Amino acid sequence: MHVIDTQELVKSYGPVKALKGLNLQIPKGCLYGLLGPNGAGKTTTLRILCTLLAPDSGKVLIAGINALQDPRSVRKEIGYVAQEVAIDKILSGRELLQLQADLYHLNNLEKEDRINKLIARLQMSEWIDRRCGTYSGGMKRKLDLAAGLIHKPKVLILDEPTVGLDIESRSSIWQLIKELRDQGTTILISSHYLEEIEFLSDRMAIIDDGRVIAEGSPEHLKQELGGDRVTLKVREFSSQDESEKVKQLVQSVEGVRQVVVNKSQGYSLNLVIEKEEVLNRLRNKVLEAEYQVFTLTQSRPSLDDVYLQATGRTLMDAELAVSTQRDLKKESKQSMR
């Protein structure tokens, strides 16, 4: 049975179409990763699943319950750790957890026991009685996580739980997430860190522009692509024209598949080769045409290749595009003033 089952979710914010028919099926006990660039619709999806936001259309079943008709029952099953939380600055972390426990109607005994266990597990005892206003980013994330776990939810939904954390805090949160999965919790985690999704997920979906564009286990997604990845840069690359010329040249080499021009950080070509020995043929061809090879690197397919294959751009390019758009909007607002 699927613990989370959404069908054809559509959601707009005014003119912005955030979700354009999103389908997601998550099996029981699965640690499921949602990977996508800024603005892909991750938070919107998660907020709908947690019943904090209603879709314009589509279906949502959580543990077999229709979330749109019976949000209260769904909330009992779900723990949600939001991407950005406004934590009260005056309360201590412990007081905040106590409030959270009251929201879920835990009795006093249960409440203290649960809070103490979470404090110990997340190593929060040194600072949990300090005011939240004094916490670092990592401390706040841990507190958020503890708050989401207070009622032992069957389904845990985490929106970018490790963003901005140092490596140590990140890996301790990763470990906890895996432990919870091993104990039977179904977990959905969103991230735009490839390595996070790759390390954690049993299954994953790549979402882009409001839709799921690839789905499966990370291994399966990479295998499907087949072949080794090669990045080629020649010294003469300076324009789109030049890169198109080299592209055509490279395409004519036997055993080369899928050549894509990559524009980030100057021009380079991303290509897929069938076998190792194609690399030599490729190098010779480029040299014969009197281009100087600047870099030629080879690697096994990565999740970024999966993303590139599905969308025609790398995850980094997609993020750059969104931040450029934001900057342009800011500039035009400023110039209107």
**Which residues in this chain contact Mg ion in the complex, by CB under 5 A?**
42-43, 83
Q: How far is the CB of 198 from Mg ion (least distance, A)?
A: 19
For position 58 contacting ligand ATP by CB under 6 A, the verdict is no
Enter the DSSP assignment of 131.
B
Cβ pair 177, 187 in contact under 8 A = yes
Contact window for ligand ATP (CB under 6 A) among 11-19, 73-81, 167-175, 307-315: 11-19
How many whole angstroms separate alpha carbon 96 and alpha carbon 144?
10
Q: How far apart are CA 135 and CA 16, in angstroms?
A: 35
Q: Which residue is nearest to Mg ion (CB)?
A: 43
Residue 41 near which of ligand ATP, Mg ion, none (CB within 5-8 Å, type-dependent): ligand ATP
Q: For residue 267, give the H/E element and its range.
A: none
| 23 interface partner picked from Mg ion, ligand ATP, none, CB below 5 to 8 A per type | none
Q: Which does 302 bind (CB under 5 to 8 A by kind): Mg ion, ligand ATP, none?
A: none
Task: Show the binding pattern over residues 181-220: x = contacts ligand ATP (CB under 6 A), - = does not.
Answer: -----------x----------------------------
What is the contact mask toward ligand ATP in residues 75 to 104, using x (rule: CB under 6 A)? --------x---------------------
- CA distance linking residue 110 with residue 123, whole number of Å: 20
| For ligand ATP, the closer CB: 41 or 153 | 41
Containing 157, the helix (H) or strand (E) segment is: strand 155-159
Least separation in angstroms between CB 37 and Mg ion: 10
Asked whether position 44 contacts ligand ATP by CB under 6 A, the answer is yes
Q: Would you say 130 or 326 has its CB closer to ligand ATP?
A: 326
Asked if 194 and 304 count as a contact pair (C-beta separation under 8 A), the reply is: yes
- Can you give 276-329 as a three-state secondary structure string? CCHHHHHHHHHHHCCCCEEEEEEECCCHHHHHHHHHCCCHHHHHHHHHHHHHHH
Strands 78-81 and 155-159: parallel
Strand order in the sheet with 228-234: 256-262, 268-273, 228-234, 293-299
3-state secondary structure of 156: strand
The yes or no reply on residue 39 touching ligand ATP (CB under 6 A) is: yes
Which entry of ligand ATP, Mg ion, none binds 142, CB below 5 to 8 A by partner kind? none
Site string for ligand ATP, 19-38 (x = CB under 6 A): -----------------x-x
Q: Where does this chain bind ligand ATP (CB under 6 A)? A: 13, 16, 18, 36, 38-44, 83, 192
